[in-house]
């Protein structure tokens, strides 16, 4: 059986589709390919459950008219290439089908098209009811596996862990440039979030860096989305990161620039635990198997918490992440440190820990 999984959403949604993809490959024995956009494509690189990743560019990610025209030409070539594969099924891995995904599926000409939705579409052969309830996004997407055959998935609402696979050469590069030694303990602070209500302030991160330095014997790495905050397509936090590291360098906070998602995967893989506002980086960290403290504003942790790893979720009282204090976060870090493999050794704790 040959299956194409269409993942047109952002990084987090794409990562949470990886348990579904692993299941299709391992349980159904399917040859599984992925169609995704250039922004999320690194999520699927080096994944042993995926034979091939087909990539296209969204128009909104193109910088000018020429790049829009070139992207359109690539899409046409991609459709012809996918038609030659003669897929048995196309799965639209999205909370509900959308017209763009259906157009892709129709152009590919698969025997069956499987999607979520409450409204039928003549080109969708198997429509799975959304029925979201309290299911996590990974659990919801996993339900699509039941429509591939008439046999439900073995772990119907308990999919396995999400996974990303960093490039070994990039891991080696960051290990050398950051001077990371074996068994070194590193807490990562990731400061970027796309939604304004998810953006924890620079002052909070500086205070948290001080509290970590006072309490734990470890290094701290700072991560952020690259670029200018005024970029309408990919707002970045270069200025915020420079401000934070300038004021928190005395606490041992080290800036680790990552210009691509591949670099973020590699650099984060060297860390021991992660603190991040809700967003793609939370799910990258969880897919690497790292304990995560995740900060939420107006997104729901029940649907978006770090999947299948030790985690603590904190949500702002007025659905704004800045209602969470640095003291709240340091208290949330403690149980994750204790779950990281060396309970009771005191190896993480400083000689004179600050009171929580």
Statement: residue 132 has pLDDT above 70: no
| pLDDT at residue 153, rounded to an integer | 52
| pLDDT at residue 356, rounded to an integer | 39
The residue written with tokens 């860390």 in the block is: 271
Give the range among 123-127, 146-150, 348-352 with minimum mean pLDDT: 348-352
Which residues lie closer than 8 Å to 196 by C-beta, 6 or more apart?
none
Please spell the DSSP secondary structure of 157-203, one letter per residue. Answer: T----------HHHHHHHHHHTTPPTT--EEEEE---SSGGG---HH
User: How much is the pTM?
Assistant: 0.90
Contact (Cβ atoms closer than 8 angstroms) between residue 136 and residue 160: no
Residues 193-210 have pLDDT tens digits of: 988 899 999 999 999 999
Statement: residue 345 has pLDDT above 90: no
290-316: burial string, b at 16+ Cβ within 10 Å, e else: bbbbbbbbebebebbbbbbbbbbbbbb
| pLDDT at residue 258, rounded to an integer | 97
| pLDDT at residue 341, rounded to an integer | 43
Residues 5-63 have pLDDT tens digits of: 999 888 999 999 999 999 998 876 789 999 999 889 999 999 999 999 999 876 555 55
Residue 346 pLDDT level (bands cut at 50, 70, 90): low
């Amino acid at each position: 059986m040959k299956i194409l999984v269409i993942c047109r959403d952002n990084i987090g949604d794409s990562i949470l589709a990886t348990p579904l993809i692993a299941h299709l490959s391992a349980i159904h024995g399917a040859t599984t390919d992925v169609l995704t956009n250039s922004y999320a494509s690194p999520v699927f690189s080096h994944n042993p459950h995926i034979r091939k990743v087909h990539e296209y560019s969204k128009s909104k990610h193109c910088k000018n008219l020429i790049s829009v025209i070139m992207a359109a030409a690539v899409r046409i070539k991609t459709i012809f290439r996918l038609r030659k594969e003669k897929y048995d099924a196309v799965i639209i891995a999205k909370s509900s089908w959308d017209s763009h995904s259906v157009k892709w599926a129709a152009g590919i000409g698969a025997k069956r098209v499987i999607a979520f939705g409450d409204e039928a579409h003549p080109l969708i052969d198997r429509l799975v009811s959304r029925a979201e309830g309290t299911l996590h996004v990974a659990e919801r997407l996993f339900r699509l596996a039941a429509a591939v055959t008439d046999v439900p998935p073995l772990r119907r609402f308990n999919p396995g862990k999400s996974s990303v696979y960093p490039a070994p050469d990039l891991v080696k590069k960051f290990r050398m440039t950051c001077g990371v030694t074996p068994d070194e303990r590193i807490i990562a602070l990731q400061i970027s979030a796309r939604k304004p209500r998810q953006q924890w302030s620079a002052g909070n991160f500086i205070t948290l860096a001080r509290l970590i330095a006072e309490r734990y014997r470890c290094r701290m790495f700072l991560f952020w989305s690259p670029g200018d905050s005024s970029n309408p397509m990919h707002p970045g936090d270069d200025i915020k990161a420079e401000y934070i590291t300038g004021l928190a360098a005395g606490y041992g906070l080290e800036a680790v620039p990552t210009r691509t998602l591949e670099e973020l995967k590699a650099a984060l893989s060297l860390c021991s635990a992660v603190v991040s506002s809700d967003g793609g980086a939370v799910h990258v960290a969880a897919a690497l198997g790292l304990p995560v403290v995740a900060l939420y504003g107006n997104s729901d942790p029940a649907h978006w918490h770090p999947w299948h790893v030790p985690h603590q979720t904190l949500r702002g009282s007025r659905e704004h992440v800045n209602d969470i204090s640095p003291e709240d976060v340091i208290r949330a870090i403690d149980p994750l440190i204790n779950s990281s493999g060396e309970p009771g050794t005191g190896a993480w704790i400083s000689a004179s820990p600050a009171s929580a």
